[in-house]
Structure 1
Amino acid sequence: MTLEAKKVSFSIYDQRILHDVSIQIKEKQFVGLIGPNGSGKSTLLKNMYRLLKPESGSVVLNEQDILKQSSKAIAKNLAVVSQETPVLFDFTVHDLVSMGRTPHKKLLELDQEKDFQIVKEALRQTGISHLEKRSFSSLSGGEKKRVMVARALAQQAQILILDEPTNHLDIQHQLQLMDLIQTLHLTVVAALHDLNIAAMYCDQIYVLQQGRIVCHGTPEEVLTPTVLQDVFGVFADIQIHPMTGKPYLTYVPEQFTKGVSQI
């Protein structure tokens, strides 16, 4: 189960947001998109799950142009957790998570025992079983995020697109959520704000700047002092953590870096 963007360009009101962007997410890979605010991460993801249509280029899901596939076929293979949680009506948590079963059902088909069990497991996996009967509107921002992840799990898609999945979550729930996603062994592409989270969980990272891919590779290859300074405008000390074996970043305030060059 693969997902690929091929030379995708996209503009809004004659302003080019993406410039011939190509990324490839192989089966079972966890791929991260990082970059400053406004670099095009969310816009790229929206093109990849067909909320937006590329001005040029294409998005390929399982070797077929995503624009030539039905919405139901896409939903069986690809689930999305976006930054926003737009819910027009005040559903309960259970009802909202149950909507993840829709692509697998015929028109007006009622939920069966299998559906109830899948929803129950999705609630358990995301740690929100105790919220099952709560109104969605009564939840905190972090709780709402976990509900949307549970809905994606109930969808049972093999590709998961995440747009800033750890927003509004405290550090414990950030790590719990990312641990959960990693243990699901799905094909994942995620726009991430926290570079240490990206370093810890991603197999491959693509760095965007002003709508272009400036580099990509493993966390060790991408998260370098030069990239951090050139793309993000920050100085950082980068070490390999002795427990995780992954890079971790310690940011250094500019006042301490005057006259210091990074290689």
Structure 2
Amino acid sequence: MTLEAKQLSFSIYDERILHEVSIQIKEKQLVGLIGPNGSGKSTLLKNMYRLLKPESGTVLLNEQDILKQSSKSIAKNLAVVSQETPVLFDFTVHDLVSMGRTPHKKLLELDQEQDFRIVADALLQTGISHLEKRSFSSLSGGEKKRVMVARALAQQAKVLILDEPTNHLDIQHQLQLMDLIQTLHLTVVAALHDLNIAAMYCDQIYVLQNGRIVCHGTPEEVLTPTLLREVFHVFADIQIHPLTGKPYLTYVPEQFAKKVNQS
């Protein structure tokens, strides 16, 4: 299943936030969305999962206009893990993850054996089985993020949208979560803050700056010293890691920038 944004534009109070943005996530690709704070990453994702409605342009889920599909149909195929965790009532972890099964059931239908098994698998995959009886409000920020990922897994969607999925996680759980997402072989688009995480896990990367796509391609093509200076205003040495074969960045203070430029 594929996901695509075509020529999306969006404004808030006459301020243009997105300028004819187009991105394409092919089936089973993990595509990263990077850019400075305020570049429009979250706004783009919210337009792509229908929380916001674009002024112009189209979002295609499996080549069908997402605005012409029912909410239930979309929920069966697309799951979202947002930056916020807006839970109005204090559910247990198990109950919250079980809500991922809602699109697959009729109104007022109770959970069946299959639903319980899928929820248990989602808890196990995300490493939070030991938390299933805990109240959601009692969890740390990182634990809450993993609960929301588990709910998305219980939803069994084929397309996953992640907005800063590694926020509030320590490095061990960042890597465990990204390893998990990579092994699911879903169609994934993720807004990422850590450029080394993006380099390590993404098949393709799109770079947003001031609401426009300024570059896209493989991590090797996109993550260059020139782009980092022009978009993120930082200096970095970029090498290919001998074990992963992926680019890795070492940030360098400005006073050493000449040495970076000469390398």
TM range (shorter): over 0.9
- 1:224, CA displacement in angstroms? 0.4
Which residue pairs with 1:6 in the alignment?
A: 6
1:38-75 Cα distance to aligned partner (Å, 9 max, x none) = 00000000000000000100101111100000000000
Structure 1 residues 115 and 259: alpha-carbon distance in aligned structure 2, compared to 1, 3 A threshold: closer
Q: Is the 8 A contact 2:38 2:210 kept in 1?
A: yes
- 1:78, CA displacement in angstroms? 0.3
Q: Distance in 2 between matches of 1:258 and 1:13?
A: 43
Q: Is the 8 A contact 2:237 2:260 kept in 1?
A: no
Q: Is the 8 A contact 1:93 1:134 kept in 2?
A: yes
Q: Is the 8 A contact 2:235 2:260 kept in 1?
A: no
- 1:255, CA displacement in angstroms? 2.3
Q: Distance in 2 between matches of 1:183 and 1:261?
A: 37
- 1:256, CA displacement in angstroms? 2.0
Q: Does residue 107 of structure 1 match 2:107?
A: yes
- 1:83, CA displacement in angstroms? 0.2
Q: Is the 8 A contact 1:226 1:262 kept in 2?
A: no
Helix, strand or coil for the counterpart of 1:32? strand
Q: Is the 8 A contact 1:99 1:151 kept in 2?
A: yes
Q: Is the 8 A contact 2:225 2:237 kept in 1?
A: yes
- 1:259, CA displacement in angstroms? 8.4
Structure 1 residues 120 and 211: alpha-carbon distance in aligned structure 2, compared to 1, 3 A threshold: same
Identity of aligned residues (%): 90
Q: Distance in 1 between matches of 2:76 and 2:260?
A: 52
Number of aligned residue pairs: 263
Structure 1 unaligned residues grouped into runs of 5+: none
Q: Is the 8 A contact 2:100 2:154 kept in 1?
A: yes
Helix, strand or coil for the counterpart of 2:262? coil
- 1:262, CA displacement in angstroms? 6.7
Helix, strand or coil for the counterpart of 1:256? helix
Helix, strand or coil for the counterpart of 1:150? helix
Q: Distance in 2 between matches of 1:135 and 1:156?
A: 23
Structure 1 residues 183 and 94: alpha-carbon distance in aligned structure 2, compared to 1, 3 A threshold: same
- 1:261, CA displacement in angstroms? 4.0
Q: Is the 8 A contact 2:97 2:151 kept in 1?
A: yes
TM-score by length of 1: 0.98
Q: Distance in 2 between matches of 1:255 and 1:109?
A: 64
Q: Is the 8 A contact 1:9 1:55 kept in 2?
A: yes
- 1:254, CA displacement in angstroms? 1.1
Q: Distance in 1 between matches of 2:88 and 2:103?
A: 20
- 1:20, CA displacement in angstroms? 0.2
Q: Distance in 2 between matches of 1:262 and 1:108?
A: 66
Q: Is the 8 A contact 1:225 1:262 kept in 2?
A: no
Structure 1 residues 255 and 105: alpha-carbon distance in aligned structure 2, compared to 1, 3 A threshold: same
1:215-255 Cα distance to aligned partner (Å, 9 max, x none) = 10000000000000000000000000000000000000112
Q: Is the 8 A contact 1:239 1:249 kept in 2?
A: yes
Structure 1 residues 251 and 123: alpha-carbon distance in aligned structure 2, compared to 1, 3 A threshold: same
Helix, strand or coil for the counterpart of 1:110? coil
1:121-161 Cα distance to aligned partner (Å, 9 max, x none) = 00000000000000000000000000000000000000000
Helix, strand or coil for the counterpart of 2:122? helix
Q: Is the 8 A contact 1:33 1:208 kept in 2?
A: yes
Helix, strand or coil for the counterpart of 1:114? helix
- 1:257, CA displacement in angstroms? 2.0
Q: Distance in 2 between matches of 1:114 and 1:262?
A: 60
Structure 1 residues 256 and 48: alpha-carbon distance in aligned structure 2, compared to 1, 3 A threshold: same
Q: Is the 8 A contact 1:158 1:186 kept in 2?
A: yes
Q: Distance in 2 between matches of 1:238 and 1:148?
A: 33
Structure 1 residues 16 and 119: alpha-carbon distance in aligned structure 2, compared to 1, 3 A threshold: same
Q: How does 1:125-204 map onto structure 2 within 5 Å?
A: 125-204=125-204
Helix, strand or coil for the counterpart of 1:259? helix
Q: Is the 8 A contact 1:32 1:192 kept in 2?
A: yes
- 1:258, CA displacement in angstroms? 5.6
Q: Distance in 2 between matches of 1:86 and 1:70?
A: 23
Q: Distance in 1 between matches of 2:142 and 2:228?
A: 28
